Structure formats: structure tokens, C-alpha cells
Amino acid sequence: MLSIEQLTKTYRGGKKAVDHMTLTIEKGEFIAFIGTSGSGKTTALRMINRMVEPTSGTITLDGNDLSKMNAVQLRRQIGYVIQQIGLMPHMTIRDNITLVPKLLKWDKPQKDETAKRLIELVNLPESYLDMYPAQLSGGQQQRIGVLRALAANQDIILMDEPFGALDPITRDTLQDLMKDLQVRLGKTVIFVTHDMDEAIKLADRICIMHEGKVVQFDTPDNILANPATDFVRDFLGSHRLIQQKPSVKTVDEVMIQPIAITIEKSLDDALRLMVKKRVDTLFVVDANDHLLGYLNVDSFTGPKRQHDTIAEAMNNEVIYVKTGTKLQDTVRRILKRNLQNIPVVDHDSKLVGLITRANIVDTIYDTIWGDEPLEATDALLTNSASPIEEETR
């Protein structure tokens, strides 16, 4: 447990960047710090690993006062990810990932095994370990930056607007990845962002700051339902408050049954199934229903038609959501990426459902835009440049 008590940072001239912050963060929580520019969120984050020393107040981890620890040793025990990624350009991906374990004097076999295990977690090939950062895309570099923070198996990960400089699609993908890793590995993550949608999507609790003070610290649902002050209400925006109603739904409540085929079947089997079921997308699963990819009309035309197996022809870069995801978050993703549908998987990556544009219009009307005409709701799903999509850019 991380306990912050009356934490204050005062700069020359008496300006308080952080003003008597008090909050408790439980092990395994995902916490987002958010606020206006100059609200103190980054200063608060940096005081946790003592990159900034507090003027007063205490930070304790499991009862141990962090101010009494050696600052360098403390930073090696807390992962840190910054917006600029900060990979060493002259070092291989392997050496970048294992930078902190090297400082901690891990032996070479242990470092190599860690690098191999971690790069598999982010779906990058092991061969990338011998490449250099310049040979990777921006999104791939950002994945490596996340892995470096996880490599020494620190319990706490600090992230300072890590995805702010990325394009929306890459950012969305990395948000999903980070949340998945955090849950699977049981890490405590403290995440600074300026994007309220990002905070709502990722955080278990959100700390909203203004002029150095914590004005509300609560779950996303409670903040949206009960803004503590007029500042919080204005900061959230009326469009988010409208969406948060007692009847708000998750994808589980409206998903339909997807049409799937196991990977060992033939392409002819797949084509016959698509025609029989009158669908233009067929999801590919293994024998245990784990989602592997999908086939569509393009899979049976052009160069891919030269392939003989589903494994060769399918697209394995499939965008999905997990059970429990709020419906409005899924709508945003559909609009942002101009998708016709999006599969739903459980926490074991098994295919359990499908959300399509066609089956959510009435639900959106009742749940999210209940006071607007149905024609307006329908337009949001049929026009690529909708108001909602513009807002997510």
C-alpha cells in the first residue's frame, strides 16, 4: 500500500505546485492523475520516486518512509515510463529492456530470459531483441518502453503521459496492452494523463487535481455520476455526464453470437460457412475458442487467395474488446477506426460475442443519447465524420 500524507511542494516565491495531497493507493490499483496544465499532477508523480523532493509531507510504501531510502535505490525499485520513451539509441532492444536488471547486477541468463518473456507479452518477435530502437516503429518503441519499466519486476510503475505523442489508433492499442499487463501482472500503476477519456478507460480510481489540490479522488463511475465541484463538472464536460446513467450498458448485455471457424478447417469450408450464414466476416479460433484472427471478403480475393489454409489467409491483427467494457467506449472505438464490427473476448482471450454497428443503434439511443432523435443517433453510426468521432481525435 502506498500512503501519501499532506504532501506539499512549494517553489521559490511561495507557489505551491502540490498542496497538502493526501490519498492512499492499494496494491494492484491503476490510478490516473489528471487536471489542468499546472495542476501539479506530474510534480506529484515525480515526488513518489523522489525525482522531485517534497517540501513537506510523507510518502510511505508498506509503512516504510520513502524519504529515508537511498534515492537511487528507490528509483531502481519503481518503474518509470515517460512520454518521450527514452530508449537508448546505441543499445539493442534486449539491452534497453534489461537496463535496470543490469544495474541491479542480474546475471546474463536471468536478463536474457526476462527479455524473451517480456517481448512475448507484447506480441513482438524474439528477433527484435537484437535490433535497435531506430529499426522499430514509434508504437513498437513505446511497447519496449513499457517493458523496460516491467523488467525488474517492480511493484509500482509510474507513467507520465506515456501515450500522449502517439497517433490515436496506436494509442488505443497501447492503452489496451498496458491495462492487460497491469491486470495480469498485478502491478500498481500511477498514470499521469491530460485525456479524461483515457483516464476513464484505464483507471480504477481517478485523482482530479486543480491548482495543486486534489478536488476529487474516486472511481470513474462515481466521478461521472457525482462530480464533487463545479470545476470537476466543467472539466468532465456535459457529453460525458450525459453518458453516465444508471442504465448504462456493457458489451455483455448487447453482444450477439459471432460466426467462427476453427483454424484447422480449409478455406473452402470457411467460404461455405460465410455464404450459409450470410456474413462478411468470419472469426478464426483455436480448438479452445481463443480468438486468433478473422477472414473477410478480401481473404478470398487477390494475393491471399493463393494461400491454401486459413492460417495463411487470415488477418491476425484483430481489434477486440473484453467482457465488461462499457458500450460507449466500444462505440468510440468503432467510430474512431471506422469498423463495421468488433469481437468480444473474455479474460482468457476466448471469443464470446460480437458488437456490430447495426445492433447498437437502439441501445445507444436509449442509454447514451436518450434525449436526441433516433435519426441523429443513426447518423452517428453511418457518417464517418460524426461529432463523437471528432471529439475522440
Of 76-85, 302-311, 314-323, least confident by mean pLDDT is 302-311
Q: Which of 108-117, 161-170, 330-339 has the highest mean pLDDT?
A: 108-117
Check pLDDT > 60 for residue 383.
no
Residue linked to cell 464517418:
384
Check pLDDT > 50 for residue 195.
yes
For residue 50, which amino acid is it?
R
pLDDT band for position 382 (cuts 50, 70, 90): low
Query: Which residue did the predictor score with more confidence, 385 or 169?
Result: 169
pLDDT band for position 374 (cuts 50, 70, 90): very low
Q: What pLDDT is recorded for position 352?
A: 95
Beta carbons within 8 Å of 329's beta carbon, 6+ residues apart = 200, 201, 321
pLDDT band for position 85 (cuts 50, 70, 90): low
Q: What pLDDT is recorded for position 388?
A: 37
Between strands 341-345 and 156-160, the pairing is unpaired
Let me know: does 336 contact 171? Beta carbons within 8 Å: no
pLDDT tens string 334-363: 877 778 889 999 988 899 999 988 777 656
pLDDT tens string 299-310: 777 654 566 788
Q: What pLDDT is recorded for position 369?
A: 47
Q: What pLDDT is recorded for position 241?
A: 63
Check pLDDT > 70 for residue 164.
yes
Q: What pLDDT is recorded for position 177?
A: 80
In this prediction, residues 56-79 reach a mean pLDDT of 88
Q: What pLDDT is recorded for position 393?
A: 36
Q: Fold match between 2-243 and 251-382? A: no
Distance CA 334, CA 273 (A): 25
Q: What pLDDT is recorded for position 385?
A: 43
Q: Which of 167-171, 182-186, 217-221, 234-238 has the highest mean pLDDT?
A: 217-221
Distance CA 319, CA 99 (A): 32
The correct CATH number of 2-243 out of 3.90.420.10, 3.40.309.10, 3.40.50.300, 3.20.20.450 is 3.40.50.300
Check pLDDT > 90 for residue 41.
yes
Q: What pLDDT is recorded for position 390?
A: 38
Architecture of domain 251-382: Roll (3.10)
Let me know: does 294 contact 314? Beta carbons within 8 Å: yes
Distance CA 131, CA 5 (A): 44
pLDDT band for position 30 (cuts 50, 70, 90): very high
pLDDT band for position 44 (cuts 50, 70, 90): very high
Beta carbons within 8 Å of 118's beta carbon, 6+ residues apart = 97, 147, 150, 151
The full DSSP string for 10-57 is: E-TTS-EEEEEEEEEE-TT-EEEEEESTTSSHHHHHHHHTTSS--SEE
List the one residue out of 48, 34, 304 whose CA is nearest residue 157: 48
Tell me which DSSP letter residue 193 carries.
-
Check pLDDT > 90 for residue 325.
no
Distance CA 282, CA 274 (A): 7
Distance CA 140, CA 85 (A): 11
Distance CA 40, CA 305 (A): 56
Q: Where are the domains of the chain?
A: 2-243, 251-382
Which cell is 205 given?
480510481
pLDDT band for position 249 (cuts 50, 70, 90): confident
What does the buried/exposed string (b/e) look like for 168-197 if buried means 16 or more CB atoms within 10 Å of the residue's CB? eebbbbbbbbbbebbeeeebbbbbbbebbb
Distance CA 30, CA 115 (A): 24
Distance CA 248, CA 241 (A): 11
Report the share of the chain in percent with pLDDT over 90: 34
